A and B are shown apart, each in its own frame.
Chain A
Amino acid sequence: MDEATNTPKALKTPKALGTPKGNVTDPFENQKEDSEENKKQGQENADQKEEEKDSTGGEHSGPLEPVEIPEDPHPTLEKLSDDIERCISSLPTPNEKDENQQEEKENANDEAKDTKGDENDGKDTKDDKEEEDVKDEKGEKEEEKGEKDAKEGEKNDKEEKDVKDENKDDEKAADQDEKELGDKDAKDEKEAEKVVEKEKDLVPDELLKLIDKFLTWVDDICCEGRCRWGTVPQDDEVFLEAVDLMAKMRESLLSVCSMGLKFQERHGGLINRLSSIQHRAMAYLEEEFRILLEESKTESDHHHSTAADHNHNHNHNHNSNKDSSSGNKGKNDQESQPESESESNKEGVVEFPGFPEEVVSNLNKIATKMISAGYESECCEVYIISRRHAFDENLHKLGLEKHSIDDVQKMHWEALEREIMLWVKAFKQCSQFYFSGERQLAESVFPEPVLSEQTPIWSCLFSNLSRGVMIQLLNFAEGIAMSKRAAEKLFKTLDMYEAVKEMLPKIDELFPGECARELKTETTTVLNRLGEAAILIFCDLENSIKAETGRNPVPGGAVHPLTRYTMNYLRYACEYKETLELVFKEHTKIERSDSTSRPDGRDDYDASDTSFEIPDDESPFAVQLARVMDLLDSNLEGKAKLYKDVALSSIFMMNNGRYILQKIKGSPEINACMGDKWCRKRSTELRQYHKNYQRETWSRLLSFLSHEGLSNHGKVSKPVLKERFKSFNAMFDEIHKTQSTWVVSDEQLQSELRVSISAVVIPAYRSFLGRFSQTLDPGRQTEKYIKFQPEDIETYIDELFDGNPSTSIFRKKP
């Protein structure tokens, strides 16, 4: 069974490891042995003993002869490791060393050799393959051993007794359920044997050779082009184990060395070589770590960029995707990509920074190993620099460029507007996906700290990274907030405000403690600046209205550009009503200090404030809005006075008033702010202007149609009648001529005006005509004085307010 499973794996191993000198036939034979050996290890003690004797003989003959080492391409790597591990764990451990070092040095004496002999006897009675190995070595290296043992002897003697006592207990326990717990027994016994072995030999020559061979292997892996990490997971495991083993070796060798100068001299070279290979292995891991971070990143970016646009749609799926995706991820990676677009999109969004699961787990393995080997700094440096570059690249892909604050002040608005849009998008994505993804990555790559009160590594790295990114992003917003105020900047400023505001509540859950505190302060500061900037820009509307002091009346009494500008501006502004409300509520500090510093302006508002009856719970924004409307009104009133014709002045006020009212009614947001009451008041004012206009223009005309003063004792005075007709005709012609050039562009208002004019003029004219037309002689006289039929009057009234330059009706007429 073991053979069946082991052989293919073992076959694969040397190839995958890329050992160039690998010989195809030799490894195969060795593997057989190897697998045999593996099998043995799994078997029961009794059998093990014998079989191992054989196998060790066969196995170890290779490593013992230096010539064979290059030809023997690590076929039995696991075995090699096992052997070394076994030998190493038989060396004194640092703890034992600490406890006994002193004593041992002082008490070392010649009796040691004897003890050694005794021990050998005792040992022989036990079943242990390790012992066998060691024995072989012993035979060859008797003298060296002697020296070592001389020092070790007494200490080990004591130790052994202790251990033996323990073992006895163990064995007793084991005896009870020996059969059932065969495996456990084997372990226990092995351990016991290991300890016993210590006395024998500190660093057996066999071990030295094994180590040498092992190091050569590791060295080869680190130097030769090996498969990318993750392609052959078994190999990766073996390598990581090798790293552990090297650490153990070093520890053991060092503790041996600490026992005396002699050991130091003897093994110094080996320790040096070991340290060198250890470093090489770490450098190799570091490089693999970097490559994993960087290569896997490029892969995922494709997903991610297409996904970015879809983020809004997928917001709600965010959580559910996260769950499902973690399972699918690995699969997706191996399978072909074109599956379904939407699928990969969803995943891409969720999975920023888009490392497949195995990559993350590999990163974690490497990081854990590097950290435990004391290479934390290297690992962290590689990680932070890679991620920082990746994050930067990512922002760059979203179109975000770095701009100095100075540049922002100088840029044209059009260009800046583009940058702001990109910024808002990028910032939102950062707060929605990137930071949480980045955090998740850091958390899964780096192991938890050993002590719970330690700050986890991931937290430091992630804090450092996100702090840099955030400050850079916020600096741009800062630059915008301090740029020269201009009305058109309001909306983009509010966009930024919204994005930053959205980020604020997430900071605590996104970033770790200290970092969150700092970023919260920074973010709040920027938010305040943006808010204050928005308020100042909005309040600048007031100044703009005040500053509009043109002395030229708009021709035809049409809607003033100021009205159009202001109302359109307000309408757009009200699309941001909620944000503006918020901004005004939270950042009015500046606004207030502003208004107190302008006492002249303040007086106007006091009057108007009361007239609007703004309730106490009214938002400061609504107050500001009312203030703007009021300013606009008073400005328009001033402009109305520029018209010499009072009727035209009324038309001007009607036009503008109508325009304002329509705009307000057209936008539910402003309407809500201004309130129905305000609108009703407005309509009343408009009716008043209408009446004024009617009175100004039409009452004099109508006076010509008055029946009074025409008849004297029942007889109509012809000359007076003629004069009346003449005056009427002339005046109507004049009115028509003038007022056709006037402008009422609102169709409804235009028709209202015409209807109301017709309603007073036509019946009066018809009745006048009916009563007095026969007084005139038919023919020439009638023709001369009666220029209009009531229908004509109506037609001409319908020509009013069209803004057409018109000549006299009479000249027009043939």
Chain B
Amino acid sequence: MGATDNQNSFLNRISIRRNQVVSMEGTHDQELEDLEHFQKHVADRFLDLLSPPEDYPSDPFLSIAWIRKLLDVFLCCEAEFKAVVLMGRDPTQITKPPLDRLVPEFLDRVVKALDICNAVSSGVESVRHFQKLAEIAVSALEQRPIGDGQVRRAKKALNSLVTAMAIEDKEGQTTKATERTWSFGRRTGVSAPNKDRAAGHFRALSWGMSKGWSSAKQIQAMSMNLVAPRGNETSSLVQPVYIMSTIMLFVMWILVTAVPCQERTGLMTHFQVPRNLVWAQSLIGLQDKIAEEWKKKEKKCAAGLLEELQKMEKLGQSLIEFADNFQFPAEAERLEEVAAQVAELAEICKRMEEGLLPLQQQIRELFHRAVRSRTEVLEVLDQGGKGTPPMM
């Protein structure tokens, strides 16, 4: 990846130069240049995501592969950010106002981002279960001849799938709704001689976050006090701290919109990037696009904006419809139609099979990187001599 190469040479350049320059005054021009580079790189990387180069085969917007690219971009920006802010710098620089306030605020955002990573990771876990359900439907509907048994099997799995997707989206009620489904299934299993007693309640998984945790609130909390630098501040360390905060917030926001995530009410209103920032234009473009998708989603009630999920839900609905109206023997024409849809669903499952695990690992990597960076910044803050508060 081009970005990584750039970044390596960039890091080298910075460290070499910092080692050479001793006087604080002399570094200022260089610092300005670093800052500009940083902004430019950020702008370029997000532009690639918004409108990929023509000659380059691109992944569909908000697909798993696209999200993975987004995370790559984030990791690159993060590494460069550390280089700009930390490497070879005199610790006292980041302990002076207003950074003495801004940097701890930034670190606080990092902590919140960690929780989002975990929530999103369990969201991806849910998607993996969706995938399993879809796979059941695929394998049932791929069988020939298609009979009531195959159709019912597929329908059961698809109903579970669609229900699970809807539950995930019922903001804040994840646990309750799951619980209800569960006890319902169990009750009927024990007593009533119900014909459809085994009609299937795949219980959704609801692990991960604590009760009452809300991804939307977390995003909101991250965006608090996030104010674009003005005047002199634009040429100081305030700028990269602001940029990195914004990128982090933005990436977390996309993750939350893409996969099932606990409690997302008001997600769209909590995060606005000022429109006049040059480096943020692609970010703003992306955000508009996603907000548009989200509006559409509200009506469809999908589990997330992830391209694969949206397709999966659509196909799921359509196949349920097929199953509802199924009568043996199936018309050949209808079967062909269904076969095409099944093939499409199988393709999505394949993409999930290939992409979800690496995505999850990447999220975990992001998590560890964030923790590491936070520690490094804290060390610098410590060195900056904030002094340990007296113990008694």
Please list the residues of chain A having a beta carbon within 8 angstroms of any beta carbon in chain B: 222-225, 254, 257, 264, 268-269, 271-280, 282-284, 286-287, 290-291, 294, 374, 377-378, 380-382, 385-386, 388-389, 392, 401-407, 409, 468, 471-472, 475, 478, 482, 487, 522, 525, 529, 532, 540, 543-544, 547-548, 561-562, 565, 590, 593-594, 597-598
Contacts and interface: CB of A to CB of B under 8 A. Distances in A.
Contacts of B97: none
Main secondary structure on A side of the interface with B:
helix
Nearest to B203: A385
A283 B390 contact: no
B354 interface: no
A376 to B, nearest CB: 9
Contacts of A405: 111, 114-115, 118
Contact of A268 (B145, B150, B200, B218): B145
A268 B148 CA distance: 11
30 contacts: A223-B193, A268-B329, A271-B145, A274-B147, A275-B148, A276-B147, A279-B149, A279-B150, A279-B152, A280-B149, A282-B153, A283-B198, A290-B185, A377-B136, A377-B139, A385-B203, A388-B205, A402-B208, A404-B118, A405-B111, A405-B118, A478-B371, A487-B391, A522-B364, A529-B371, A547-B387, A547-B390, A547-B391, A548-B390, A548-B391
Contact of A377 (B132, B185, B193, B200): B132
Contact of B139 (A374, A478, A547, A593): A374
A264 B332 CA distance: 14
B85 interface: no
Contacts of B383: 597-598
B193 A275 contact: no
Contact of B200 (A283, A487, A548): A283
A482 B390 contact: no
In the complex, the 8 A-B pairs of residues with the closest C-beta atoms, listed nearest first: A275-B149, A283-B198, A279-B149, A272-B147, A543-B388, A276-B148, A275-B147, A402-B210
Contacts of A482: 111, 371, 374-375
Given A377-B132, A409-B111, A540-B388, A269 B328 contact: yes
Contacts of A279: 148-150, 152-153
B218 A406 contact: yes
B135 interface: yes
Contacts of A254: 145
Contact of A406 (B111, B150, B204, B371): B111
B368 interface: yes
B389 A547 contact: yes
B388 A544 contact: yes
Interface in B136-156: 136, 139, 145, 147-150, 152-153, 156
B218 A294 contact: no
Interface string B92-136: 000000000000000000011011001001100100010011011
A277 B207 contact: no
B22 interface: no
Contact of B149 (A276, A378, A472): A276
Given A273-B147, A377-B135, 19 more contacts: A257-B145, A272-B145, A274-B149, A276-B147, A276-B148, A278-B149, A279-B150, A290-B185, A294-B186, A377-B136, A378-B136, A378-B157, A385-B202, A405-B114, A405-B115, A471-B364, A478-B371, A543-B388, A547-B390
Given A268-B145, A276-B152, A291-B186, A381 B388 contact: no
Interface in B170-204: 185-186, 189-195, 197-200, 202-204
B201 to A, nearest CB: 9
Contacts of A594: 379
A389 B121 CA distance: 18
Given A275-B147, A404-B115, A392 B132 contact: no
A388 B190 CA distance: 22
A468 B207 contact: yes
Nearest to A378: B136
B168 to A, nearest CB: 14
Contact of A283 (B156, B221, B371): B156
B348 to A, nearest CB: 16
B391 A401 contact: no
Contacts of A277: 149
Given A287-B197, A406-B115, A475-B118, A273 B191 contact: no
A279 B210 CA distance: 38
